[in-house]
Amino acid sequence: MPMTRIQKKAQIEATNEKLNKAGIALVVHNNGLTVEQFSNLRRKMRDVGAELKVSKNRLTKIAAKDTPMEGIIDLLKGPSVIATSADPVSVAKGLVDFAKTNDKMVIIGGAFGAQKLDVKAIETLAKLPSLNELRAKIVGMIQTPATRIAGILQAPGGQVARVISAHSKKE
């Protein structure tokens, strides 16, 4: 059943809103994924905080105009799927991992703000540590000096106590 003008307008507005809020938008081609495979991909993307959207290329091109993700317009040819997320690394990792195990999904490119991304840039992005991994490293770096400082501060007190204890045993 064809879409009405109202439905098309609603889809354009929803897609435009998602592209305006997203930190990254990646375009992949679905070259015959089964329903089960596509459901697994959606689940994997949802787990990393990303969203997959299948929409008509013509409507997505209209929605992408005047957004930070305008760079994806040229990529919208064929059976396109748009992956959007606030965290660029996790969505890139998820798509690259899925593409390695499934040759029916092909990464075409994307946009990271106003910058266009090719496949190599997306693969490089996927090799970076995710936002959560970076946060964990920063917390670890902050905690390590604190534990060292606590150990240093405790050491003189312990040494003084041992010296006093040794003097008391001598007398």
Q: What is the pLDDT of residues 64-80, one digit of tens each?
A: 998 888 889 999 998 89
Residue 39 to residue 171: CA distance in whole angstroms: 79
| C-alpha separations of 85 from 21, 46, 66, 79, 157 in Å | 8, 10, 18, 20, 52
Residue 122 to residue 88: CA distance in whole angstroms: 9
Q: What letter would DSSP give residue 53? A: E
Give the SS3 label for residue 139.
helix
Q: What is the pLDDT of residues 2-25, one digit of tens each?
A: 888 999 999 999 999 999 988 899
For the whole prediction, is pTM greater than 0.75? no
* Residue type at position 62: I
